[in-house]
Amino acid sequence: MAKVFNHITKEYRESVNTPDYSSLPDWIVNPDFSAVGGSYNPDPNVNRYWKQDDVDPDAVVEMTQPEKDIVDASQITNDRATKLRSLENAYYGYVYDKYPMDMVVMTNSLYEVMTNAQKTIVDAWTAWLLTVGEYYATISLSISTAANLAALDLITWDFSTFNGTDPGYRLDNTLNTT
């Protein structure tokens, strides 16, 4: 029985059948972790910078800085995409839970025939929607331009901060305004 380490996925297994792994190029059989602290560390923030040694194929070593930069660039691209999707879902969920799309479309189609008093109500609501949209755009830009993973991890948002200024627009109430 042996211990094995996959230098690509960073998976570690103990008590495995050695012949099952000996011919697999991504697996190191009975890896030497002495260059990276002496033992396997399951923390992905630690082991993501590990690689198979170029000289001793049984050894696990820390990557060079240029190699770490490549790993980080790949990771930040994936994390950005995930965070942008999460932000987008939060934004559309927040706005359309309050104001369904059919109400937005109906309001837009009726705007030209509304009275000035009705348009004033719609304009206040539209200004609020624009403020929420600008907040979304600002956070989105921050995510897209984060310099590194640490900066990306610090970016958060909270659309509920707009609850206090929400005009509570209702199309039926607006149409009853003269």
- Confidence at residue 44, expressed as pLDDT on a 0 to 100 scale: 84
**Among 116, 136, 95, 104, which residue's Cα sits nearest to residue 177?**
116
Least confident of 58-72, 96-110, 111-125: 58-72
Is the distance from CB of 41 to CB of 47 less than 8 angstroms?
yes
If you compute the radius of gyration of the chain from its CA atoms, what whole number of angstroms results?
27
Query: For 35-88, how does the pLDDT look when each residue is reduced to its tens digit (9 = 90+)?
Result: 999 999 898 888 889 999 999 999 999 999 999 888 888 889 999 999 999 999
Q: What is the pLDDT of residue 1?
A: 85
Which phi and psi angles does 13 have, rounded to 5°?
A: -130, 145
Q: Domain boundaries in the chain? A: 2-63, 78-175
140-162 pLDDT, tens digit each: 999 999 988 889 999 999 999 99
pLDDT at 74: 85
What's residue 101's pLDDT? 93
What is the average pLDDT value for the chain, to the nearest integer? 93
Cα 60 from Cα 8, distance rounded (Å): 11
Residue ranges with strand state E in the chain? 2-6, 12-16, 27-29, 50-52, 60-62
